[in-house]
Amino acid sequence: MNLLLAEDDAILADALCEQMRAIGFTVEHAPNGAVAQYLLAKQAFDVVVLDLGLPMVGGLEVLRQLRQTDESLPVLILTALDSLEDRVAGLNAGADDYLTKPFDFPELEARLRALLRRSRALKASTELGQLSMQRETRSAQVRGEMLELSPREFDLLDLLLTHQGRVITKEQINQAWSGDRGADTLAANNAVEVYIHRLRRKLEGAQVAIRTVRGLGYLLELERT
């Protein structure tokens, strides 16, 4: 699971990154709101832990802008602001959960896993244009016609659909295939290009497009008319 931690307290951030990696998360750290916005635009995440008191761009503003482009990414606010007004403001801005400092790490972990369970349940079936996918049966259809997909093609389509409208890097694709973050070799990147080409052909007529974002990766979006 890819997690973005937006936290300006360096000591707390280092401790949280270490603990989260120890329980299986891949963690990116943003020390301020501007970096958080950059990472959210550049990478795909499964969950966000967001401090409200971020320098440069405040946490609420980061959250409001995120919700303009992505309504489904789970966000947990982790902050020292514990008034009722702060909680209401955070939840109204689009947060899925709100935890105040100081906190116990087991509670943070439990809340994150609860958010991820709800997110997976909502994404069990996904539709975009004339494309539909059922993750439980690992099947996909275009205009009701079943697609013949290899395991890698399905995993690639699943990753693109899960993060539709956001860029997926070749490294993230390789990691989804192998679970190895270091699998970003030239041969692996060439394989990604081959599978992207195959998937584009199979999605003809689905009213969706896999767009190449030069120097970054790929994103799935509705076909432009």
122-175 residue pLDDT tens: 665 578 899 998 887 889 999 999 999 999 999 999 889 888 888 888 988 988
Answer whether residue 216 shows pLDDT above 50.
yes
* Between 122 and 40, the higher pLDDT residue: 40
How far, in Å, CA of 168 to CA of 137, rounded?
24
Longest dimension (CA), the chain: 53
**Confidence class for position 57, pLDDT limits 50, 70, 90:** very high
Task: Please give the model's pTM, rounded to 2 decimal places.
Answer: 0.61
Answer whether residue 31 shows pLDDT above 90.
yes
Torsion angle of the four alpha carbons 208, 212, 216, 220, in this order, in degrees rounded to the nearest 10: 0
For the 2-122 domain, the top CATH level (class) is alpha beta
Is-contact 43 169, C-beta < 8 A? Answer: yes
Q: What mean pLDDT do residues 74-83 have?
A: 95
Q: What mean pLDDT do residues 112-129 have?
A: 79
Tokens of 56: 């440069």
pLDDT of residue 137: 87
Report DSSP state, residue 83.
S
Answer whether residue 205 shows pLDDT above 70.
yes
Q: What is the CATH number of domain 125-222?
A: 1.10.10.10
* Between 182 and 34, the higher pLDDT residue: 34
62-73 burial: b if 16+ Cβ within 10 Å, else e: bbebbeeebeeb
- Listed in order, the ranges of the chain carrying CATH 1.10.10.10 are 125-222
Answer whether residue 180 shows pLDDT above 70.
no
* Between 12 and 179, the higher pLDDT residue: 12
What residues have CB less than 8 Å from 177, skipping those under 6 apart?
152, 155, 156, 183
**Confidence class for position 190, pLDDT limits 50, 70, 90:** confident
H/E stretch holding 3 reads strand 2-6
- Listed in order, the ranges of the chain carrying CATH 3.40.50.2300 are 2-122
**Confidence class for position 182, pLDDT limits 50, 70, 90:** very low
pLDDT of residue 162: 81
At what angle are helices 59-69 and 33-42 packed, to 10 degrees? 20
